[in-house]
Amino acid sequence: MSTPEPNTEDHGKPTYPLTGRNRVKRRHDRGFYDHETVHRILDASMMCHVSYVIDGQPYCTPTFFWREGSRLYWHGSSASRMLKNQTAHQRVCLTVAFLDSLVLARCGFNHSADYRAVMAFGNAYLVTDADEKERAGIAMVDRFFPDRTAGLRATTAQEMKATSFIAMEIEDASAKIRAKGVADDDEDYALPIYAERIPVKTVLGAPEPCPRLLPGVERPATLQAYRDGRLFEDALTEAYALQYPNG
Amino acid sequence: MSTPEPNTEDHGKPTYPLTGRNRVKRRHDRGFYDHETVHRILDASMMCHVSYVIDGQPYCTPTFFWREGSRLYWHGSSASRMLKNQTAHQRVCLTVAFLDSLVLARCGFNHSADYRAVMAFGNAYLVTDADEKERAGIAMVDRFFPDRTAGLRATTAQEMKATSFIAMEIEDASAKIRAKGVADDDEDYALPIYAERIPVKTVLGAPEPCPRLLPGVERPATLQAYRDGRLFEDALTEAYALQYPNG
């Protein structure tokens, strides 16, 4: 991927505010704060890690999530623990990370990786508004598989009651990107030591139809973004653009 | 993968203790606590997400890590923020997650995923013992690329000083595994709705030698675990077994 221009100042692009918690402290040349860079990384992922605190103990839960504007939603699988006994909001950090390559340098110190990561900070709340919850119940499927909900067996009131959604308005966020492969100390290039970059990619396998499909039930064309061998993040980015054409 | 037998009781296998924080509360049939299951998931991954708390604010940092027995190590890239001003230990949660497949069911509520995840809890500390730090400086490379350090330009005292390692003894941990594909409500199988499982896998690309290699410098045989198209986790598991033959 091409590395965007560092954007620690306002270049006219919408940008998340710089605060003490999102400022990239180490390797600050790798930090980006503009909406475009942050959102592009978020929208290429299905899974995030959500951190929250209970009685001083941090928890880090992997879960699915999606974005609407500057708001992030996730499924309340951890809601029972995370928001239990919380009448107020809960401070969280939601992180997405892609490992793009392993970087084997000529010394141990310069072994590294190319990666893209976003940390987003805010206060999480349980979605209780009936309309917002209904929209979230559709988006949790259709954001990944556009228009799929319309063809499914309808969600029952009981199922909806058993489902929790959590949302968080992004207050500040940062992206951190490294995309340069091997970067050794100048004098080390003269050494007869092998160095390389090993790409890492997450791809889809061949879809496996449910063995109990009724005769004649075909795979919908709307799932064509998900095909054997494709980069998972490309399928997710395409699905996002279909479902949220205004970004 | 085959799903191991749930192990909430003692079946003679070494097992992490069950506590309030690691007990899998939701879908407890998916929870495992034995060392073997927990370690197998940890050792198949290079990246983890570490959560820690500063002034009540949780942070979730993606980083590389490795295991020695029941101790986890990671690189101190976030040490400046994480352990700054901490004379005592710091409570952390270290999480590893694999997304194995997307599960598209016949209703929204049963959309799911096959996955493997581990949450490990403990107190993190800065590695200050000189011997332990030197071993960590080797392991941070050789755990992933067996025997590589011996062929590299030696680490300088200045580099070692600039490097921080953080360690954590696992106090309790849990693995959570789902590996069953589509699982619909019994009556929904009679509906003419398409359902499928889409495998997701993370693979290595073709290694890209550094363009500035000296003539005649060949790829070492010790890197053969890392080859084009291989599952990343298989390469990591193989490297782990080579570097830590006693588990």
**B75 has pLDDT over 90:** no
Q: Is B11 helix (H, G, I), strand (E, B) or coil?
A: coil
Cα–Cα–Cα angle for A175, A176, A180, nearest 5°?
135
- Tell me what the mean pLDDT of segment B205-221 comes to: 97
- pLDDT of B87 reads 47
Residue with the larger pLDDT of the pair A163 and B174: B174
Residue with the larger pLDDT of the pair B75 and B154: B154
Residue B62 touches partner A, C-beta closer than 8 Å: yes
- Cα separation of A193 and A191, whole Å? 6
Judge contact between B60 and A94, C-beta under 8 A. Answer: yes
Minimal C-alpha gap between B37 and chain A (Å): 18
10 Å CB burial of residue B31 (0-12, 13-18, 19+) is: buried
B residues 171..230 contacting A (CB < 8 A) = 181-182, 184, 188-210, 212-214, 216-220, 223, 226
- Cα separation of A142 and A150, whole Å? 9
- pLDDT of A213 reads 98
Kindly give the interhelix angle for A232-243 and A35-43, rounded to the nearest 10 degrees. Answer: 110
Partner residue facing B108 (CB), from A53, A117, A140? A140
Tell me the residue length of chain B: 247
Average pLDDT, chain A: 91
Instruction: Render pLDDT for A213-229 as a digit per residue (tens, 0 to 9).
Output: 999 999 999 999 999 99
Tally Cβ neighbours within 10 Å of residue A218.
Answer: 8
| Backbone torsion region of residue A127, taken as left when φ is above 0, otherwise alpha when ψ lies between -120 and 50, otherwise beta | beta
**Domain B28-200, CATH 2.30.110.10 — does that match?**
yes
Q: Hey, what are A233's tokens?
A: 């993040």
- Tell me what the mean pLDDT of segment A12-38 comes to: 88
Minimal C-alpha gap between B190 and chain A (Å): 7
Q: Which candidate, B31, B29, B3, B2, places its Cα nearest to that of B16?
A: B31
Question: A-B interface: how many C-beta pairs under 8 angstroms?
Answer: 267
Q: Is B114 helix (H, G, I), strand (E, B) or coil?
A: strand
CATH superfamily, domain at A28-201: Electron Transport, Fmn-binding Protein; Chain A (2.30.110.10)
Q: Which candidate, B160, B107, B139, places its Cα nearest to that of A148?
A: B107
- Cα separation of A122 and A131, whole Å? 22
Q: Which candidate, A180, A200, A108, A188, places its Cα nearest to that of B145?
A: A108
- Tell me what the mean pLDDT of segment B19-44 comes to: 89
Give B27's Cβ-side CA count (13 Å radius).
10
Minimal C-alpha gap between B8 and chain A (Å): 20
- Cα separation of A173 and B237, whole Å? 34
Q: What are phi and psi of A62, to 5 degrees?
A: -75, 135
Q: Hey, what are A178's tokens?
A: 């490294």
CA torsion angle for A210, A212, A213, A214 (degrees, to 10)? 180
- Tell me what the mean pLDDT of segment A201-219 comes to: 98
Judge contact between A204 and B199, C-beta under 8 A. Answer: yes
Q: Which candidate, B138, B94, B146, places its Cα nearest to that of B120?
A: B94
- pLDDT of A1 reads 39
- Tell me what the mean pLDDT of segment B203-225 comes to: 97
- Tell me what the mean pLDDT of segment A74-80 comes to: 66
Q: Hey, what are B49's tokens?
A: 């997400």
* Least confident span in A144-158, B20-34, B55-69, B201-215: B20-34
Question: Which stretches within B5-69 are classed as H helix?
Answer: 35-43
Judge contact between B115 and A46, C-beta under 8 A. Answer: no
Judge contact between B105 and A41, C-beta under 8 A. Answer: no
Cβ neighbours of A226 in B, within 8 Å? 102, 198
- pLDDT of A3 reads 47
Q: Which candidate, A128, A112, A76, A100, places its Cα nearest to that of A1?
A: A100
Partner residue facing A232 (CB), from B106, B200, B216? B200
10 Å CB burial of residue B62 (0-12, 13-18, 19+) is: buried
Rounded to two decimals, the ipTM of the complex is 0.92
Average pLDDT, chain B: 91
Q: Is A199 helix (H, G, I), strand (E, B) or coil?
A: strand
> Which residue in A has a C-alpha nearest to residue B154's C-alpha?
A107
**DSSP letter string over A93-150?**
EEEEEEEEEEEE-SBGGG-EEEEEEEEEEEEEEE---HHHHHHHHHHHHHTTSTT-GG
**A86 has pLDDT over 90:** no
Q: Is the pTM of this model over 0.90?
A: yes
**A98 has pLDDT over 80:** yes
- pLDDT of B247 reads 84
Domain extent listing, chain A = 28-201
In which band, very low, low, confident or very high, does the pLDDT at A247 lie, cut at 50, 70 and 90? confident
Residue A5 touches partner B, C-beta closer than 8 Å: no
- pLDDT of A22 reads 86
